Amino acid sequence: MSHGDSNKSAAKRVAEMFPEVAAEDEWALAQQQQMFAYPDEGYSEVFLKPDLALRRARKIFVDLLREQELAKAQAAE
């Protein structure tokens, strides 16, 4: 059942909310596309506390890719 209404299934509640959520996503995507018009020079990313896990995951991923590329280069020698 839906948390908001015990007489409604969660699937029905999601279906009712979907158009509004999709419209918000469409707006956000349109704003992001407009940002591509601005040059990257001088841009620096501002991280928030909730981004810590994402930043850590990115670092792990980049480190793994770097190790993989190094191993490939060493194997090719």
Taking the C-alpha atoms of residue 11 and residue 63, their distance in angstroms, rounded to an integer, is 40
Question: How do residues 27-67 score in pLDDT, each as one tens digit?
Answer: 999 999 998 888 888 888 787 888 888 889 999 999 999 99
pTM: 0.39
User: What is the model's pLDDT at position 1?
Assistant: 47
Q: What is the DSSP string of the chain?
A: --SS-TTS-HHHHHHHHHHHHHHHHHHHHHHHHHHTTS--TT------GGGHHHHHHHHHHHHHHHHHHHHHHHHH-
**Cβ within 8 Å of residue 13, ≥6 positions away:** 2, 4, 5
